[in-house]
């Protein structure tokens, strides 16, 4: 992980925008995006490309949950402690607790760098809480990007995915293999397959995703914020489709 990414991630995990780059804070126009899409659709790759192009901060709630479990690199805020207690009992973290975790980081949502919000909202109540917060703060969303891909392609992608247990770098046994099998190119850590990346688990995850996300799709479509993007293709092709859909929306929001 680069030093810059560590700085930005620390600001998000600690619940403040203190780690943002100074030049970001001077931006008059910024992008505020919510990224939706099932596991394996390529949100992580697109997030990095969007961050580089738009100069926004990538705010991942997955990072918050992993930090809550590891308790490293962050302050254990009250909401994170509460979330950890639910996870230890094997229970789903309720919407109210997830929102509290995000709200504790309200400075990041209001940062002049803008944001790419990844992993939140996951349910309609979470979306409504986020929208109410942004409207009260006079911070309009630029858009909500929904990445779509056929199930068979997703299964092929995820079943071949390997993740570094040390730095979380992601590889693929065919499309992005490591230089040395089972070893991370970046830090030399061990690569492993997540248990939920097995084909049977993927189908279950997809069913759960579709069930929870369908109301979100309708909600953001009704608000005129939704941009559905075909995620099948190279990263550059998907990125071009994304920007083609977002640029006109950004002009309307910022003018």
pLDDT digits (tens, 9 = 90+) for 52-76: 999 888 888 877 777 767 655 456 7
Please pick, among 43, 51, 162, 249, the residue that the annotation labels catalytic: 43
Low-confidence ranges of the chain (pLDDT < 50): 1-7, 22-27, 73
- Confidence (pLDDT) at 76: 72
- Confidence (pLDDT) at 3: 43
Please pick, among 103, 148, 176, 205, the residue that the annotation labels catalytic: 205
Q: Quick check: is 161 catalytic?
A: yes
Nearest to 210 by CA among 137, 154, 140: 154
**CATH class in words for 3-149+216-254:** alpha beta
13 and 58 Cβ atoms separated by less than 8 Å: no
- Helix (H/G/I), strand (E/B), else coil: 210: helix
Q: CB-based contacts of 182: which residues, under 8 Å, 6+ apart?
A: 162, 190, 191
- Confidence (pLDDT) at 121: 94
Q: Where in the chain is the domain with CATH 3.40.50.300?
A: 3-149+216-254
**C-alpha Rg value of the chain to the nearest Å:** 18
- Confidence (pLDDT) at 57: 85
* CA–CA–CA angle 8, 37, 130 (5° rounding): 60
pLDDT tens digit sequence for 202-228: 888 888 888 888 899 999 999 999 999
- Confidence (pLDDT) at 225: 95
Q: Quick check: is 194 catalytic?
A: yes
Please pick, among 6, 25, 71, 194, the residue that the annotation labels catalytic: 194
Q: Quick check: is 205 catalytic?
A: yes
Is the model's pTM score more than 0.75?
yes
Please pick, among 27, 66, 103, 122, the residue that the annotation labels catalytic: 122
143 and 225 Cβ atoms separated by less than 8 Å: yes
């Amino acid at each position: 992980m680069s030093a810059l990414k560590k700085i930005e991630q620390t600001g998000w995990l600690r619940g403040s925008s203190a780690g943002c780059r100074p030049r970001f804070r001077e931006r008059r126009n910024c992008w505020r995006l919510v990224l939706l899409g099932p596991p394996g659709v390529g949100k992580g790759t697109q997030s990095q490309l969007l961050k580089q192009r738009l100069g926004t901060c990538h705010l991942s709630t997955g990072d918050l949950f992993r930090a809550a479990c590891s308790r490293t690199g962050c302050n254990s805020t009250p909401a994170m402690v509460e979330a950890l207690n639910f996870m230890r009992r094997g229970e789903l973290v309720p919407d109210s607790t997830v929102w509290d975790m995000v709200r504790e980081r309200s400075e990041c949502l209001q940062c002049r760098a803008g944001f790419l919000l990844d992993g939140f909202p996951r349910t309609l109540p979470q979306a409504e809480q986020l929208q109410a917060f942004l409207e009260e703060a006079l911070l309009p969303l630029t858009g909500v990007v929904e990445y779509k891909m056929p199930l068979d392609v997703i299964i092929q992608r995820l079943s071949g995915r390997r993740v570094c247990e040390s730095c979380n770098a992601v590889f693929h046994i065919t499309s992005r293999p490591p230089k040395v099998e089972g070893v991370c190119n970046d830090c030399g850590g061990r690569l492993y397959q997540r248990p939920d990346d097995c084909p049977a688990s993927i189908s279950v995850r997809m069913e759960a995703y579709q069930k929870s996300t369908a109301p979100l799709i309708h909600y953001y479509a009704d608000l005129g914020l939704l941009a559905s993007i075909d995620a099948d293709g190279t990263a550059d092709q998907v990125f071009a489709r994304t920007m083609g859909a977002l640029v006109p929306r950004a002009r309307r929001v910022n003018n």
